[in-house]
Amino acid sequence: MEFNFENKVIIITGGSSGIGAETAKMFAQYKAKLCLVGRNESRLQNVAQHCELISGNVPLCILVDLIQAGSCEKVITKTVEKFKRIDILVNCAGKLKLGTLHESDIDVFDELMAIHLRVPYYLTQLASPHLIKSKGNIVNIGSSYLERYKPGLLPYNVSKNALEKFTRHAAMEMVTEGVRVNIINPGMTRTNLIHNLNIDEGDVNYAYDNLIAELGLKKILEPKEVAKLILLAACDMMPNMTGSSLKIDGAVIV
């Protein structure tokens, strides 16, 4: 099976690390034209340089915090200014913050809802006229943990559940326009999410050990595995796949 993304214009949020970075590199192997969106300048530039070496195409890098006013508009405007079109939108930006009803501020909930729901919603709105022209598609990144109920994950899981519902509604609205919308729900993946909780390295390893114990395959996912599924959802080989939720989680919920 060979993908064909040559000259496809692809926006990837969260493109500076983890799943987003690996997805960008994989798209670059197929000569895609990339807009990489992230908050860490050095990481974003490193990913962009890697992609350029692979494909010969210079990615557009946009350094923004997407939950800030005007950021989503900037992403779409700059992409269209440079590439004149949009073919694929990958909503990969995300974060993990722990919170409970009794022990966390409402700001935790607001922040996670903003990055996991409002940003993909608004980027979809802004990109939709261009995606309709190109008959493109959208891939959202959710989480298989939305089907589990664990202390501390309430705001995270609610926001990812909301993203899945949005995906299905958006797919229904856009199907007559020839635009597909799907969501990938990965299980625990080796990214910066846990490290970004600002806990000690020993605690990070302890967290991974406990998570591995819950997995049927006893293995943490690598970002490349998820990236392959993203490319599969984004390619043209399955034109009737829309409104779908694709899971890759090592049997964590079985």
pLDDT tens-digit map of 49-59? 999 999 999 99
Q: Which pLDDT score, from 0 to 100, does residue 133 have?
A: 99
3-state helix, strand, coil in the chain (%, to 5): 50, 15, 35
Cα–Cα distance, 211 to 205 (Å, whole number)? 10
**Per-residue pLDDT band at 189 (split at 50, 70, 90):** confident
Coil, strand, or helix at residue 87? coil
Residue with tokens 């006893």: 218
The residues near 138 (Cβ < 8 Å, ≥ 6 apart) are 88, 89, 90, 91, 124, 127, 131, 170, 179, 180, 181, 182
Q: How many residues does the chain have?
A: 254
* Calpha distance 35→94 (Å, rounded): 17
pTM metric for this prediction: 0.91
Which runs of consecutive H residues, i.e. helices, occur in the chain?
18-29, 41-55, 71-83, 106-113, 119-134, 154-174, 201-213, 223-234
As a whole number of angstroms, the distance between CA 202 and CA 45 comes to: 30
* Spatial contact of 12 and 23, defined as CB atoms under 8 Å apart: yes
Quick check: 238 and 229 in contact, CB under 8 A?
Answer: no
What is the helix (H) or strand (E) element at residue 55, kind and residue range?
helix 41-55
Pairing of the two strands 180-186 and 60-63: unpaired
Asked if residue 12 lies in contact with residue 36, where contact means CB atoms within 8 angstroms, the answer is yes
* Sheet (strand 137-141) strand order: 60-63, 33-38, 9-13, 88-91, 137-141, 180-186, 245-248
- For the cut 80, the answer to whether the pLDDT of residue 28 exceeds it is yes
Which tokens hold the place of 10?
Answer: 């692809």
Quote the CA–CA distance of 23 and 3 in Å, as a whole number: 13
d(CA 246, CA 223): 15
Amino acid identity for residue 42 in this structure: S
CA-atom Rg of the chain in angstroms: 17
Report how far residue 8's alpha carbon sits from residue 236's, in angstroms, rounded to the nearest whole number.
11
Segment 3-26 mean pLDDT: 97
- The mean of the pLDDT values for the chain is 90
pLDDT in tens, 209-241: 666 666 555 667 889 999 999 999 999 999 999
- Do the beta carbons of residue 146 and residue 161 sit within 8 Å? yes
Q: What is the DSSP letter of 99?
A: B
Bigger pLDDT: 253 vs 224: 224
According to CATH, the superfamily of the domain at 9-248 is NAD(P)-binding Rossmann-like Domain (3.40.50.720)
Residue scoring higher pLDDT (155 or 213): 155
